[in-house]
């Protein structure tokens, strides 16, 4: 990843940064969907430079924050020019600042992956889905899934699905890693294998 653009959320007295993240990331997702290949993948990744996740304990509370910056990375400048993120964020100009396309600096701190962490959060929904198969009843399915439900306190962005119109939490997990050979990302700009530079 040689080129990037940085988006900074502008502090708003009357609007929550979570609301701005939701609007911004929905637009980013739509923009990346336009760039996807036949395998539903894109060659553009993202990072959250101010990402904080420090797991706490009984004495110390967990610190969780996505921060107020997003970086969009590509291997070459033309990929970011083609993405034309300013066009996609045109309605958000009062809420975000977008830099021009820049070269990634030589003196980076390292590399990280930002991946989507999916959790099973609703035993009743899982049970209803299982009942549709027709092999067990709802009570038995609910009993099976009650202990499967998992939760997380990772940072997330609340997004509304464009296909089902339902809201969901896009949990984001960061891992420090080495530079990856692959540069393949989801239509959320996330990947469990492809790394982006940290600086």
- Over residues 107-136, the pLDDT tens digits come to 999 999 999 998 766 666 677 777 887 788
**Cα–Cα distance for residue pair 124/149, rounded to 1 Å:** 10
Residues of the chain with CATH 3.30.70.2540: 3-117+156-198
If you average pLDDT over residues 27-46, what whole number do you get? 94
pLDDT exceeds 70 at position 44: yes
Which pTM value belongs to this model? 0.83
- Which token pair is 11? 């502090």
Which distant-in-sequence residues (6+ apart) come within 8 Å of 112 by Cβ? 47, 174, 175, 176, 177, 195, 196, 198
**Sign of the C-alpha dihedral computed for residues 7, 10, 11 and 14 taken in this order:** negative
CATH 3.30.70.2540 applies to domain 3-117+156-198: yes
Q: What percent of the chain has pLDDT over 70?
A: 93
**Cα–Cα distance for residue pair 116/102, rounded to 1 Å:** 26
pLDDT exceeds 90 at position 68: yes
pLDDT level of residue 145 (50, 70, 90 thresholds): low
109 vs 139, higher pLDDT: 109
Give me the pLDDT at residue 86, please: 96
């Amino acid at each position: 990843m040689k080129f990037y653009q940085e988006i900074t959320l502008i502090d708003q007295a009357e609007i929550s940064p979570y609301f701005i993240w939701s609007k911004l990331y929905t637009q980013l997702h739509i923009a990346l969907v336009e760039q996807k290949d036949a395998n539903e993948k894109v060659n553009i990744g993202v990072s959250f430079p101010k990402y904080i996740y420090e797991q706490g304990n009984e004495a110390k509370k967990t610190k969780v924050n996505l921060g107020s910056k997003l970086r969009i990375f590509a291997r070459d400048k033309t990929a970011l020019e083609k993405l034309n993120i300013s066009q996609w964020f045109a309605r958000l100009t009062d809420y975000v600042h977008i830099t021009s396309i820049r070269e990634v600096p030589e003196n980076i701190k390292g590399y990280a992956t930002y991946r989507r962490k999916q959790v099973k959060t609703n035993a009743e929904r899982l049970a209803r889905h299982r009942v549709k198969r027709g092999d067990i009843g709802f009570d038995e399915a609910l009993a099976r899934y009650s202990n499967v439900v998992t939760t997380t306190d990772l940072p997330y962005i609340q997004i509304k699905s464009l296909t089902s119109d339902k809201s969901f939490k896009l949990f984001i997990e960061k891992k420090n890693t080495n530079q990856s050979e692959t540069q393949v990302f989801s239509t959320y700009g996330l990947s469990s294998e492809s790394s982006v530079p940290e600086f």
